[in-house]
Every structure is written in structure tokens, then in C-alpha cells.
């Protein structure tokens, strides 16, 4: 049972690919972005400022966060849809930039990853969370392709936003994710770089699965 990590910027198709790859291999899927999003959602609800690191760390330590049947929950409440709301998008990179927040989540993520049989997706999965994972991937795509995916996702949720706005917010988030001092988005050592622009999910999953099978998955 291998440990597989998938990193990359927003909209590169990571979560869909990670979920399907996990299903194909019979592995568990761990969506680390959902954890940062759940904290951001809690901060919005409780009026905690996204710049207040001690308050966020305290909030996180009280967070009853679980995954059940692939959906994230805060206590008894399923928040899998709500964590994708634009209000969460806007602050999640700020929330995720705090070293104390990252430290606490990385520890939880390592515990959840256990001994293997897991596909972990995020920004620092292959660099910080599981640097000695057997299979590491870095998915990218052009900003236009990524904004287009995210835009469709928002439309399917009934949210009407312009593609220009989505592209601008995405570029801002990328910059924050790449520039932060801890857990910055970068290509992990030994990772396979995959540009998903113009590729279907099926094609990407097949490519990754072959790579993992050669390595014993
Ligand atoms: O993958 P996503 O869009 O759900 O991620 C949401 C935010 O969380 C994004 O701004 C980057 C941040 N994130 C992070 O800093 N570290 C991770 N391991 C996963 C996500």
C-alpha cells in the first residue's frame, strides 16, 4: 500500500483526479484543502479574523473535523458544499498562510495518512506532509483552463460570477499560495509533473495509475 501525493495550483483538477485515482486503486482519499476550507468556514461563522493567528489556532484545536464517506463534517454537520462557497475562497489562502495553522493540520494529515493506501491532495502534500511518499505528482494547467473549470463548478452550484473575476481571484490565490513562508506551493523533489490542459479526467487518472502500478500500487 503506497502513499501517493498530488500537489498543484487551484483548478488543475487535483481533487477530481485524486478521488478517482483513490477509487481505482482502492485507496483512501485525503483532501487537505477541505481541512483549510473547513477552518476558514468556521472562522467566518465565529467572526474570527483571517489575520488573527492565535485565534485561528485556538479555533482549530476545538474543530471536530472528520471525513465520512468522502464528505467533510464539522461535528454532525456535513459542510462539504458550504466550504466551496466564494466567501470561503476569498479568505482560505490567508487562513492557510499561518505557520501555527499549518503545523497543526500537517500533524493531523500525517495521522490520517497512516501507513499508506492513501492519496493525499494539497499544496504541500509531497513537500511537507509526506516528503517520503512513494508516488508524487504535481498537476498544472494554464490559468485560463483552471479558471474555466472553476467557473463551470460555480455555475453548476447556481452561482453567477464572471470568468474574469474567477481568473483574477485565482491568480491572487496562486500568488499567496506560492509566496507564503511555510508550506509554499512548489514542485516536490522526485514528483512527476503533469500538465492537464486539454486532457480529460480519465486520461489523467489512467496516466497516474500506470505510474503508480509500476511502483507497486
Ligand atoms: O485545493 P483547494 O482549492 O481546496 O485549497 C484551498 C486553499 O487551501 C488554497 O488557497 C490553498 C490552501 N491549501 C494549503 O495551503 N495547503 C494544502 N495542503 C491544501 C490547501
pLDDT confidence band for 177 (50 / 70 / 90): confident
Give the β-pairing of 118-122 and 3-7: parallel
Q: Does residue 45 register a pLDDT over 90?
A: yes
The pLDDT of 103-109, averaged and rounded, is 97
CATH for 6-207 is: 3.40.50.300
pLDDT of 217 above 90: no
Q: Whose CA is nearest to atom 6 of ligand 1?
A: 33
pLDDT band at 13 (very low <50, low <70, confident <90, very high): confident
CA of 32 to the centre of ligand 1 (A): 7
42-56 burial by CB neighbour count: b if 16+ within 10 A, else e? bbbeeebebeeeeeb
Adjacency order of strands within the sheet including 3-7: 28-31, 118-122, 3-7, 135-140, 192-195
Per-residue pLDDT band at 74 (split at 50, 70, 90): very high
Cα of 165 from ligand 1 centre, angstroms: 19
- Measuring from atom 8 of ligand 1, which residue has the nearest CA? 33
Q: How many helices (H) and strands (E) does the chain have?
A: 8, 8
Question: To test the ligand 1 pocket, which listed residue (33, 34, 173, 186) has its Cβ within 8 A of the most ligand atoms?
Answer: 33
Amino acid at each position: 500500500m503506497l502513499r501517493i501525493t498530488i500537489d498543484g495550483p487551484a483548478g488543475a483538477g487535483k481533487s477530481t483526479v485524486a478521488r478517482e485515482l483513490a477509487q481505482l486503486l482502492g485507496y483512501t482519499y485525503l483532501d487537505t484543502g477541505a481541512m483549510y476550507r473547513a477552518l476558514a468556514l468556521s472562522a467566518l461563522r465565529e467572526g474570527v479574523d483571517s489575520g488573527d493567528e492565535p485565534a485561528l489556532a485556538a479555533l482549530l484545536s476545538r474543530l471536530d473535523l472528520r471525513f465520512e464517506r468522502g464528505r467533510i463534517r464539522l461535528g454532525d454537520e456535513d459542510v462539504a458544499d458550504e466550504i466551496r462557497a466564494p466567501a470561503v475562497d476569498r479568505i482560505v489562502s490567508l487562513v492557510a498562510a499561518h505557520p501555527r495553522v499549518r503545523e497543526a493540520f500537517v500533524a493531523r494529515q500525517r495521522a490520517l495518512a497512516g501507513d499508506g493506501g492513501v492519496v493525499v491532495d494539497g499544496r504541500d502534500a509531497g513537500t511537507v506532509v509526506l516528503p517520503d511518499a512513494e508516488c508524487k505528482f504535481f498537476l498544472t494547467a494554464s490559468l485560463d483552463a483552471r479558471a474555466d473549470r472553476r467557473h463551470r463548478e460555480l455555475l453548476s452550484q447556481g452561482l453567477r460570477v464572471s470568468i474574469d473575476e474567477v481568473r483574477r481571484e485565482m491568480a491572487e490565490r496562486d500568488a499567496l499560495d506560492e509566496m507564503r513562508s511555510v508550506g509554499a506551493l512548489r514542485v516536490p523533489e522526485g514528483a512527476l509533473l503533469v500538465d492537464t490542459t486539454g486532457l480529460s479526467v480519465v486520461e489523467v487518472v489512467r496516466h497516474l495509475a500506470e505510474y503508480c502500478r509500476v511502483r507497486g500500487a
